[in-house]
Amino acid sequence: MAPPADAHAGIDARLVLEGVSRSFGRTLALAPVSLRLGPGAICLVTGPNGSGKSTLLRIAAGVTKSSSGKRWAAGSALYLRPGDGARHAQTPRQAVDFVARSRGRDGVEEALDAVGLRRLADTPVGRLSSGERARVTLAIALVWSPSVACLDEPTAHLDPAGASAATDVTARLAAEGTAVLVATHDEGFLADLADARIRLSRGRLELAP
């Protein structure tokens, strides 16, 4: 097993994965991975398609059970892909407001502003472009402010301004103490902010080059 990527060793952990793996039938999607993220840690997960990035994030968020190993998260965990989180018949404001109310938080308008969606806040999500839907997802992540955020390809479909908003949202989440796990093909994304970077290949963990 490759050595664990330990982003914030010695601090109170928000997410601990101990040897988690996942198989689908005889196919190994993810070989045992260990990871520990503290409050505010940002960990990038890179690797080619089919390398197990999404599987790792889904296990980390608790939406997929691991075949082996242990997962522990302090508080709520969130898994989002671009465009997730809002039904087509909802408006961005309704979708973000629903999450905010469920979490007992304010800041709906602020979150919409942060991702540049104020102008489209009352347009049904089904009429938005994929990039605009990705911004709705970012606003949801921001207003949710979970203990652990697993963002799967957050810059997919986004233009440079959107990618910049994604960087800002990730930084704000980390500043609020959220441990952020980000799967990305964009090697430059969060390059300056990430505390750790791990690389997966064919479901196996490699250390970053």
Partner 1 sequence: MSGVLSSAGRIARREVVLEASGRELVTVVPPFVLAAVVLAGLGFGPRPEVLRAVAPALPWLVVLFAAVPMARSVAAAERDEGCWHLLRGLVSPGELFAGKAGALALWLTLTWAGTAVLIAAMLDAPLRAAAVPAGVLGGVGLAALVTTFGVALAGAEKRSGLLSVLLCPAAVPVLLAGAQAGTAGVNARPWLLLLVAYDVIALAVAWAVFPVLLEE
Instruction: List contacts with partner 1 (CB under 8 A).
Output: 58, 61-65, 76-81, 83-91, 94, 98-99, 101-103, 124, 140, 144, 146
Nearer of residues 134 and 194 to partner 1, judged by Cβ: 134
User: Scanning the structure block, which residue is given the tokens 């960990």?
Assistant: 43
Question: CB of residue 6 vs partner 1: minimum separation in angstroms?
Answer: 25
Nearest distance from C-beta of residue 198 to partner 1, angstroms: 22
Residue placing its CB nearer to partner 1 in the complex, 4 or 146: 146
In whole angstroms, the minimum distance from the beta carbon of 88 to partner 1 comes to: 6
Quick one: 55 or 170, whose CB is closer to partner 1?
A: 55
- What's the closest the beta carbon of residue 49 comes to partner 1, in angstroms? 19
Is residue 64 within 8 Å of 58, Cβ to Cβ? yes
Least separation in angstroms between CB 206 and partner 1: 26
Angle, to 10 degrees, between the axis of helix 160-175 and the axis of helix 130-144? 10
Compare residues 93 and 197 and give the one whose CB is closer to partner 1. 93
Residue 118 dihedral angles phi and psi, to the nearest 5°: -55, -40
Pairing of strands 179-183, 42-46: parallel
Q: Kindly tell me the sign of the dihedral angle through the C-alpha atoms of 56, 61, 64, 66.
A: positive
Nearest of 84, 184, 102 to residue 143 by alpha carbon: 102
Based on CB atoms, which residue is closest to partner 1, 144 or 189? 144
CB nearer partner 1, residue 79 or residue 189: 79
Per DSSP, which regions of the chain are E strands?
5-6, 15-24, 27-37, 42-46, 68-73, 77-80, 148-152, 179-183, 196-201, 204-207
* CB 2, min distance to partner 1, A: 25
Those residues whose C-beta lies under 8 Å from the C-beta of residue 36, and which sit 6 or more positions away, are: 4, 6, 7, 8, 9, 13, 15, 16, 17
